[in-house]
Every structure is written in C-alpha cells, then in structure tokens.
Structure 1
C-alpha cells in the first residue's frame, strides 16, 4: 500500500505547517493508521487447528466438522466401556485418525438401555433444514447376519416429556444386514406419539454392504411433520432418494444426529444373531445449516 505524500507538489521548498494543517495531519494519522493496522491483521493467516472444534467455519454456511483428531470432544457419548469408542490411526478417510466403534455382546448396557455404542450431537431446532455428511468403513471380516441387523446412523427426535410423551421411533435410521443397507423414515403429525404408533413409514434398499472400503453418505433434510418436508440422500456420490412430505415427528425439538452401533436383537431376540462382536469405523463427519450445500459436507 503506497503512503500519501503530504509535501506541496508545486513548491520545492518545505513550508511550516500551520496549526490548521497540524490538526489535519493528526486527524489523518488517527484514522488511516488504525485502518492500515486492521487491514494487516485481517489479511494475515492465523494458524488454527479446526480438526476437533465444533465450528470449522464462522462464515456462512455454518459447518460443524468432526475429524476425530486426538479425541472425542464435542460428542455426547452413549458408551459403556473404554473399548466402545477409540481413536484409530488406520483406516482413515482423511486426516490422520478416525473413530473406531466396538460393541460386544457381553458389554453392560448403557444406562440399562439396550446394546449400543453411539456418539451423538445436540438436537437441531424443530422445522429446521440441515445437511449431514459422513464416511464409514466396514472391515472385511465383518459378518453380515441374515436374520439380525444393526443400526449405524440415527436421527432421533426427542420426545416432549413435559407433555407425557415417551421415546418413539427415530425419524431416520440407516441399518445393515446381509441383504444390504436399509434407510427407514418415520413420521407423525400428532402432538403425542404413543410408542410404536406413527402415521407414516417408508423404507429404501440402498444396495449391498461393501466391506474393506470407505463408503460416503450425505443426507439433506428439511425436517417437518407437514407436507413441506424434504429428504434427500446420496451414497458414494450418487443421489439415491429424494422424497417430499412429512419426515419427522411433531416435537418441540428437531432430530439429534447419532452414529455408532445399536443392536437391539442382542437383548430382545438374541436367537436371531450369530455374532458376538461388531466393529465399524467413522470419519469425516460434517453438518451444515440451511445455507450449506452437498459439496460443503460431502466427505
């Protein structure tokens, strides 16, 4: 940036500044110098480590990024044991580390619930729009069961307990079994949903479970229990579904994102399962607000 020459360009001799000119020069320095300094600070590259921070970008769109470098800070944890969720250096989708989720049939139940090892984020506002991206890795030795299943991603709408409502079905789940991935959507416009009773359900078969490689998923949801809802999903970069209409429950808060392993059969129907341990890896989790796009959250 060039500096202004305050010398008189028409007269080679330097003149003494009058008291008016002195005041003008003092004012100019008081205004211009702070602007120059501020421009220097704003333009500087400040080293930051955003791998484990909640907000990876303070500009629009707002993006929450979770790469699992070093620890699990920022996540709610429904874990029984030290082995339930661990930082792993291999395999990774990007960066140096991913999170390894392990669920054993012999594990004690988290808060006397059901067999689960899950990480979760806070619920989003009701009737809000969000983008979600993540990548998961199924080891080659993973046994896919013909009669049993496990849920590996959930969007759980918290019940309105002040109205007497109890926990109900998740708004959206991604599960897998031998026949492949299944995405299931539930919704209900009634203020109180009673247990397993709900107004609507739709299910999609997303194809075979590919083991030994990272599989990318992206979800876009305008959460609503009315006809203005929207649900889109991509697998491996390909749009696999687009549905307009109701897609969640009539609750005061929107769905909470959860990922990990939830295997209810180990408690309610153990005879259906032929396995005693499940291990899955997750990486590159990003969540964007309504101003985000596919490219902002895609792994």
Structure 2
C-alpha cells in the first residue's frame, strides 16, 4: 500500500502513482479504456479517464463496462468516510437509461448494488438498498464542472443501524439517513469507472480523481483555514511644518458674533512750545521736531531756524551780538585813520 498522509487515512486511489497500481484490479476490455491522464485533473497531477463503447463487456455480464475495483471489505458496524471527484465532459451523451459511475457492490455476482451513484438522463442519483428503494439525493450532471463528493457510511444490513451522509461541493446535502446498505453478511467492495445499459450506443467518457478512504471527516474534508487578520496600516509620518496650524474640529461650531471694538487712533505727541515766552498766533501750526534728542541738527543751524527746544534759541542771538560789536569797532577805527597826517614824501 502507498504511504499514507494521515493516521486516519486508510487508503488512497488518487492515481498519483501515474498508473492504476493503487487499485486491486480492473474490469476492462483494453487498457486504453481506463487511462491515467494529466490534461483533465482535479487534484495533484493525475486523474482517471474511463471510456465505454457499445459492446464493451469484459466479464460476460449484463451491460457494458470498464471499471476499477478495490477490495475494501467493509464489514458490519464499520464506519468510514470516502472522498472523490467526478467530471462529465461537455460532450457526454445524455440518455434516459441507467449508467453507474461509482458503486459498492456485494460479494455475490448478481443484482443491483447496496449503495450506488448512477446517472439517468442529466441527473446524478444516490440510492441505498437496491433498485427497489427510493433515490435519497439527486443533482444535475453539470457538464464541464467537477463534482466533489464526501460520503459518510456506517455499514450494516440492519436498516436501523446503517446510514449514509453526503457532502457535495462542500455543502452538506444529505444528513444522516438510516437504511440497510449491506446484503446479509456479504462484504462490499468498491468499483469506479463507467457501467451502463448495453442499449446505449454513443461512446462516453467520464473522469474520476482523488479517491480517499478514511476514518475521520477531517482526513477527507479539512476545515477551511482561519481568516488571516490584516495588520493595521501604519500611521502616516508627520511632515515637518514651520507653520503652526490648529487641528480642524470635525464638528462645526457656531460662534456667537461679538461687537468689534474700534481701533484706537494713535495720538501724535503734543508739540513743545518755545520757552521764549512767545504765544503762538492762532491759526498757525508750530512745527514738530523730527530730532528725538532735542538738539539742533546741522540743517537747522545753517538755516538759522529755531528748535522746539527752549535752550537752543539763544545761540543765534549771541552770534548776532558778536557781529554787531565787530561792526561798531570797525567804524570807530576808520575816522582815526582818516585824521592822521600823511607822511611827507
């Protein structure tokens, strides 16, 4: 037996060996009717393509077939999980007669199997207990798309002890349904491929892949992985800014308008009146000095103007007295020179 991936997996018939060596034997008219292929695959690298033509009868029994067998030997009271996938290609011929695609057959040679998946028209059907019992579940063959099956079975010929339960394409489509799925003390074995009414004429092919037999549901249908929690996005790095701008308040605030206080007009400094005791004439403006020190600048001295300071007005007055004194002295000396006798030659 091939190496098992889990302690709960009892057997794999998934064709990943590249051939049919995982199976016990085959019932086929030629090896070309049961091909391991790589172009139409559900899991891994390989799958089985089973083809039937009218007249294919490898064991001399009713109907036409090409099937693989695995002797599972399910016994009374045993409980197992089975997983596999099946695909009907887009050119699969629809026929209103029986076509078995997967079955657990009893050890005796004849009669309908105690558990089978079969096609009639464009529907897949599950039936337990032989062809006299009602169909438990049905779905469209849905050409061109894979069907993923997970079947839970407790094997028993006691209709109150045996049951089946089915998942299809990940959905729980059939809860535990009790019924006899064994005939007396006969053991069952697995058959997979295509087995159909010999009245059907067109050639037909079907694909199977990934068959697994296990003792636990998680070995054939692992739980979905937990969602990966996304890490929060990092906070944006603040951009340096020399301007201090207050943060905006997302809640609009209505402010009560307040009366504006008129701006105070700046008052010019009061000009300082001269200390000469003169009273300014009404209607005239006393010039204001632009010199904050109060001392006369060179322009004022050259023009003989008066400063606003009370001490600077005496300088021109003293200068005038000196000029008058010099003129008077010159006048006194002039006559004296006129009266002096001239020297004789």
Fold similarity call, TM over 0.5: yes
CA pair 249-277 structure 1, distance change in 2 beyond 3 A: same
> How many residues were matched structurally?
217
Of 123, 129, 132, 1:186 maps to: 129
- Give the Cα separation in 1 of the matches to 2:41 and 2:188: 27
Say if 1:130 and 1:287, in contact at 8 Å, map to a contact too: yes
Contact 1:217 1:298 in 2 (8 A): no
* 1:285 aligned partner: 211
Counterpart of 2:30 in structure 1 is 81
Q: Computing the radius of gyration over CA atoms, which structure comes out larger, 1 or 2?
A: 2
Instruction: Please state how far the C-alpha of 1:55 moved relative to its aligned partner.
Output: 4.5
Deviations 1:65-98 (A, max 9, x none): 1221211003121111122101101110111111
Quote the Cα distance in structure 1 between the aligned partners of 2:79 and 2:34. 29
Paired residue for 2:265?
A: none
**Aligned pairs (5 A) from 1:117-156:** 117-122=66-71, 123-145=73-95, 147-156=96-105
The match for 1:216 among 138, 148, 161 is 148
Secondary structure of the equivalent of 2:219? helix
Q: Aligned to 1:233, which of 158, 166, 173? A: 166
Q: Which residue of 2 aligns with 1:297?
A: 220
| Offset, 1:64 | 1.1
Counterpart of 1:27? Answer: none
8 Å Cα contact 1:149/1:177 also seen in 2: yes
Kindly provide the CA deviation profile for residues 232-262 of structure 1, in whole angstroms up to 9, marking residues without a partner as x. Answer: 0111111121244332234434321111100
Partner of 1:182, secondary structure, is strand
Which of 36, 40, 60 matches 2:7?
Answer: 60
Unaligned stretches of 5+ in structure 2?
223-345
Please state how far the C-alpha of 1:134 moved relative to its aligned partner.
0.2
TM-score normalised over the length of structure 1: 0.67
Question: Which consecutive unaligned segments of at least 5 residues does structure 1 have?
Answer: 1-52, 160-165, 188-195
Output aligned runs, 1:141-180, within 5 Å. 141-145=91-95, 147-159=96-108, 167-180=110-123
What do residues 199-226 of structure 1 show as CA deviations (whole Å, max 9, x unaligned)? x723134221111121101110001111
TM-score between both structures, scaled by the size of structure 2: 0.58
- Equivalent-residue separation in structure 2 for 1:125 and 1:177 (angstroms): 30
What is the alpha-carbon distance in structure 2 between the residues aligned to residue 278 and residue 185 of structure 1?
25
2:41 to 88, 92, 101: 92
Shift in Å at residue 141 of structure 1? 1.0
Check the 8 A contact 2:28/2:58 in 1, yes or no: yes
Distance across 1 between alignment mates of 2:163 and 2:187: 14
Within 5 Å, which residues of 2 pair with 1:46-57? 53-57=1-5
Output the aligned Cα RMSD: 2.1
Counterpart contact for 1:86–1:100, Cα < 8 Å: yes
